Amino acid sequence: MTSSQQPLAPTGIAILGAGLFPKLAYLPSLLPHSSLVSLKAIYSRSTSSATSLAQEASEQLPGFKVEDVGIYSDDGEEGLDALLKREDVEAVLIALPIPQIPEAILKVLEAGKHVLSEKPIAKDIETAKALIKTYNEKYAPKGLIWRVAENWEMEPVFLAAKKVLASKEQGELRSFAWNNSSRTEEGSRWISTSWRTVPTYQGGFILDGGVHSAAALRLLLPSPPSTLVAHASLTLPHLAPTDTLTSLLTLSSGVIGTFYLTFAAPKNKPVTQPLFEAASEKGWLEIHQVQGEGFVLKVFGEDGELVGGKEDKFGNEGVEGEFGSFFRRVRGGEAEEDGVGRPEEVLKDLVLIESGLKSEGRKVDLIELARV
């Protein structure tokens, strides 16, 4: 920067949706980017929930005051349309229920503002492809940026493991297994909202939470899954329509592995198996998830010993990372395209989940389904 250049003023942003995730993840992840962005407005269905998020922001963001942010709601004096007319709002973070996201994306883009929308990209493949087509034809040529917020795509543990597998220091990949096993109890705060209690989208929690696993696998594997054979099932009635997905994947390289998701693990069963393990010619690696703490990466050599003599621990930093990527792209300058959250890539996560839900033991061509 030359002496005549002045630093860019913070980009004005708005948050659509004031539920649990914006409070727990968005606000602390905005803090490291406080020099890049400024929260200008919050929208929610109710004034009370929008105000509650603003209050949380005043407690978590130094120097931020409730009166600094505009409150917009369906039951208030001004709604979403009024928010989108604000010239000081340049980018919008969408954290609305899954069925509402596509309409909100198009509305924000039509207002001339950049978009970071929550995962999954849409409730189904058909809707997602229509969104991508409209964006590419109508809004991308105007310089508007749309990214999908998939935080596991930016978790440091998966990025580190990807480097190990891509380097082929352990030789070619021979097999892999993804095993995300947890239990969501009835009354859990994550299913306390009406749109999750009675989902109007396929798969319920398997879609909502499962795309995280699909995104991590997309990042980790040296070659993409080409076909899938799967079965979906329901164990706990309160998680209807589906709480478990068991899939067999074949990669384009010919390597075969498993992709298992369940939110109905036995009650009080400790998680002992790795979240992910990959066996190569000269060793293997494991990723373990430590609830409430983060992840552990273990890389083993052919002799069965830990490479470097130790395991590596990682925190949960994906939301902060995806925010940074999006904000840098919005602000332009020397920011390079890093591919994070690209709709065409995140579509593949939805394809993996929807294909598993619909397979019923039949082989599905994933590559063809992911074509836009």
Residue 246 falls within a domain, yes or no? yes
**222 and 125 both lie in a single domain:** no
**266 and 328 both lie in a single domain:** no
**136 and 177 both lie in a single domain:** no
pLDDT tens per residue, range 126-157: 999 999 999 999 999 999 999 999 999 999 99
**44 and 143 both lie in a single domain:** yes
Residue 6 falls within a domain, yes or no? no
Tell me what the mean pLDDT of segment 188-212 comes to.
85
Tell me what the mean pLDDT of segment 329-358 comes to.
90
pLDDT band at 2 (very low <50, low <70, confident <90, very high): very low
**313 and 326 both lie in a single domain:** no
**264 and 336 both lie in a single domain:** no
Q: State the pTM of this model.
A: 0.94
pLDDT tens per residue, range 229-275: 999 999 999 999 999 999 999 999 999 999 999 999 999 888 889 99
pLDDT value at residue 86: 98
pLDDT value at residue 370: 97
Tell me what the mean pLDDT of segment 339-345 comes to.
95
Residue 113 falls within a domain, yes or no? yes
Full domain range(s) for residue 213: 153-318+349-369
pLDDT value at residue 7: 66
C-alpha to C-alpha distance for 364 and 352, rounded to whole angstroms: 10
- Tell me, what CATH number does 325's domain have? 3.40.50.720
pLDDT tens per residue, range 322-339: 999 999 999 985 566 788
pLDDT tens per residue, range 91-140: 999 999 999 999 999 999 999 999 999 999 999 999 999 999 999 999 99
**18 and 113 both lie in a single domain:** yes
